[in-house]
Every structure is written in structure tokens, then in C-alpha cells.
Amino acid sequence: MSPLLTVDSLTITTRAGLNLVDQVSFSLAPGEMLGLVGESGSGKTLTCRALLQLLPEGALQITGGRVDFDGRDLLRLSPREMRQLRGAGVGMIFQNPSTHINPLMTIGQQMAESLRLRGRLSRKEIRARSVSLLEQVGIPSPEQRLDSHAHEFSGGMRQRAMIAIALACSPRVLIADEPTTALDVTVQAQILKLLDGLRREHGLSIIMITHDLGVVAQTCDRVAVLYGGRICEIAATADLLKHPAHPYTRGLIACQPHANVNAQGPLTTIAGAPPTAEEMPAGCRFHPRCPDAQRRCQTRQPVVHDVAQESGHRVACHYPLQRLIHRELDHE
């Protein structure tokens, strides 16, 4: 299947000339859910905001790359074209639904606003559409809830409402920016199930930004791991979790509390802290924290290359684990 959205060597630079997102490439097929995983500051959110050109004005700039969506380069659209694409082409939902919904408008008003932008509808049609959207996202008694304000909803319901508002524009790609981080675990599972259902039933493509590999394991088809604004590894979820090729990915998996059931003792952590934009290490950005780092890692930036061509497993590491393992086996 040809991809719906292709991001090719996207680079985002600060005014001071620091690359916060550096040469990030990935693609998204119709109906696919792609996870973007990384620590805070790894550039997940920036990458996705750049797709919609919603970067903080003046402070950050897209300095390179292409974003192809449905045969058009998003980075070359006029502001007007971009606006038409936002919502309708690519929608976005956010981590904190309580602050991302206008406190003064009812849910119904906000959905109506989106619906009206997409075409001429009568008041009745808008109401019917809104009710069915709220039903679709699993909000009970939607008729009454239309007239509620965001503060009258619980956290989970608010997130559902925000999804409904985004869906009102009928987007083809939905960017979910840590949609479950602010929610408790049971509600989290419900929201993930909802997103998964939307994808299966309506062929919605979803980019799921998260720092939680557990979320990824439950829902995503493929995962891209970001570190310091660069892609470390991109692979099918099962592949990545079972055979991580990048030491950072391995570290992340080891940090998951439930990923190492057999392990005894305290939880594993990755030593050190993620680099800041001002102090990006040369060479591989992960090398100061990498247990397998060699001299080459300190000076030369690894390029993203295939680990296993047929499965699309790609990694940016001079000494990918998959090959290392093979070597160790060879020695024995």
C-alpha cells in the first residue's frame, strides 16, 4: 500500500541554529497506527506540530525536508491551503483535554463550528451529526452532553469529547499527542481501544505520540523511536519489542516495569539524562549513555539503514544489537 503521509528528512531549527529535529523520516500508510516514542524533548511533538505548521512562531523554523500528504508537499502550501488541510486532512488531539477545549464554549458549539467549516449543513443536520459523533466516541447520553462545557466532563470523557471535535472535521490522519498520559490506567485503555476502533472501522491513520512503550505495544502497527531529535530505530511493533536493534530501544524496553517479568531486583534505568539542545553530543547522540559505545560513535553520526529489509526494520547505529548478537554467536 502506498503511504498516505511521508515525512522525509524533516529538520527543525531554533533561531540559534540548533537542530531540535534532525533529518527525521517516516511514513504512514492508510489505516495504520504509527507510534512515535521518545523521552521528553526528543522531538516527537515538534515533528508532529511541524506537519501542521503549528510550531511556535518566530522561535522555530523548518529548515529542511519534505512532508508529502496525498501527493502534496505540506511544507510548500500557502497559509490558506494549510488552514484548509488542518483538521480536514490532518487532525490533532492533545495530552491535556481540559486546556485544549475552549472553556467558554459547549462541546456542541465547538463541534458545530468544525462541521460548519466543512460544508453547508442545517442546524438539525449539525445536531444529528454531533450526536452521532459523540456516540461514536462513546459518550453516554450524547443529546444532553452536547450542551455541556468542558469542565462538566470527567478526564476520560473530556478526551473523548476532544476526539469527537477532531473527528467532526473528518480527518484522514489523526495525530494523537500523548492522548492518554493525563488519564488513569483504566480510562487509558478505553481511549486506546476507541482510537484503535476508529482506525479499524473508518480507516483513519493515526500517529500516536507517547513515551510509554506499553501503549505502543497495545495499539501501534509500527514504531519510530526518537532520541535527541533523530530517529534511532523504526520497525514493526512486535519486531521492535522482541528484537530491538538500537541500544536505546533496548534500554527503553528494559525500563518497562512489566516488560521484564523474569528480572529480579530494582527497575532498570538508562544512566544519564537525555541531551539538551544546547549540548548535543557529536557523533551518535546517544553515545554518552550507551553501554556499547565505541570510539566511532563519538565522532561519526550513524545513518539510518536496514536491519532486515523485508520487514522494514531500520536503525541508526554503528553497532546495531541484532548484528552484535550474531557476532557473539559466531565467536562461540
Partner 1 sequence: MTALTSTQISMGQRVTAPLRRLSRDLSQRTTLKIGLAIVLGWVLVALLAPWISPYDPVYQDLTTRLAPMSWAHPMGTDNFGRDILSRVIYSARVDLQICLLGVIFPFIIGTVLGTFSGYIGGWCDAIVMRLIDIVLAFPFLVLMLAIITILGPGLSSFFIAMALVGWVSYARLVRARVLVLKQSDFVLAARSLGYSHSRIICKHLLPNVLTDAVVFSMSDVVLVLLNGAAISYLGLGVQPPVAEWGVMVTEGQGFITTAWWLTAFPGLAIVLLAVGFSFIADGLSENRGGTQ
Contact 37, 211 (CB under 8 A): yes
Does 117 participate in binding partner 1 (rule CB under 8 A)?
Answer: yes
Nearest to partner 1 of 105, 277 (CB atom): 105
- Which residues from 256-295 bind partner 1, rule CB under 8 A? none
Contact 307, 314 (CB under 8 A): yes
Q: How many residues touch partner 1 (CB under 8 A)?
A: 31
Rounded CA-CA distance 198/133 in Å is 11
Beta strands in the chain (DSSP E): 5-14, 19-28, 33-37, 60-69, 72-73, 90-93, 173-177, 205-210, 222-227, 230-236, 305-308, 313-315
Binding region for partner 1 (CB under 8 A) out of 1-9, 49-57, 180-188, 254-262: 49-57
Nearest to partner 1 of 147, 306 (CB atom): 147
* Residue 114 beta carbon to partner 1: minimum distance, rounded to whole angstroms: 6
Rounded CA-CA distance 210/157 in Å is 20
* Residue 153 beta carbon to partner 1: minimum distance, rounded to whole angstroms: 14
**Nine-digit cell string for 203:** 480507516
**Nine-digit cell string for 142:** 450524547
Does 141 participate in binding partner 1 (rule CB under 8 A)?
Answer: no
Alpha carbon of residue 148 to chain centroid: 29
Nearest to partner 1 of 169, 315 (CB atom): 169
Does 147 participate in binding partner 1 (rule CB under 8 A)?
Answer: yes
Among 18, 29, 77, 105, binds partner 1 (CB under 8 A): 105
Place of cell 535527541: 228
Strand pairing category for 205-210 and 33-37: parallel
Binding region for partner 1 (CB under 8 A) out of 54-62, 181-189, 244-252, 263-271: 54-62
Does 86 participate in binding partner 1 (rule CB under 8 A)?
Answer: yes
Does 106 participate in binding partner 1 (rule CB under 8 A)?
Answer: yes
Residues that bind partner 1 (CB under 8 A): 52, 54, 56-57, 83-88, 91-92, 94, 96, 99-106, 113-114, 117, 147, 149, 162, 165-166, 169
